[in-house]
Amino acid sequence: MGSFSFTTQETDGLAVLRTRGYLSRTAGEQLEQGIGQLLDGGVRRFVVNLRETDLINSVGISILIGVIERVRALGGELAFSELTPVNEEIFRIMGLHRHARILRADGEATGS
């Protein structure tokens, strides 16, 4: 599968992470580490924009569940935005939408 990368933009305590590529185990660990560093730095609000991530495998999903748990344990908030229809369906099947917001491209939350 293709490579993975992400960029981070932080403003006023909100970090927006934009991913690109296949979110697998290695990619999920990279994202987890990046969010962990931001948490250690005091950031508590996150949006992970998955617009350029077409596929997330099961290990990637399990890592995202761990990230959600860590952010929530520290009193933070995590949202995912611009999911492909397939990824949005996977998030719903796995129940991630119950623990993290799913935002449309315009910033509005989708129905639960």
Joined tokens for residue 109: 């939350």
Q: Of the CATH numbers 3.90.1150.10, 3.30.750.24, 3.20.20.70, 1.10.3720.10, which one belongs to the domain with range 16-103?
A: 3.30.750.24
Report the C-alpha gap between 36 and 77 in whole angstroms: 13
Domains of the chain, residue spans: 16-103
Count Cβ atoms below 10 Å from residue 8 Cβ, excluding itself: 15
Question: Which residue is listed with tokens 């369906």?
Answer: 89
Please, where are the H alpha helices in the chain?
25-40, 58-73, 85-94
Tell if the pTM clears 0.85, that is, is over it. yes
Helix (H) or strand (E) holding 78: strand 77-81
Provide the residue-wise pLDDT of the chain in tens; the chain has 112 residues: 568 999 999 999 999 999 999 999 999 999 999 999 999 999 999 999 999 999 999 999 999 999 999 999 999 999 999 999 999 999 999 999 899 999 976 556 665 4
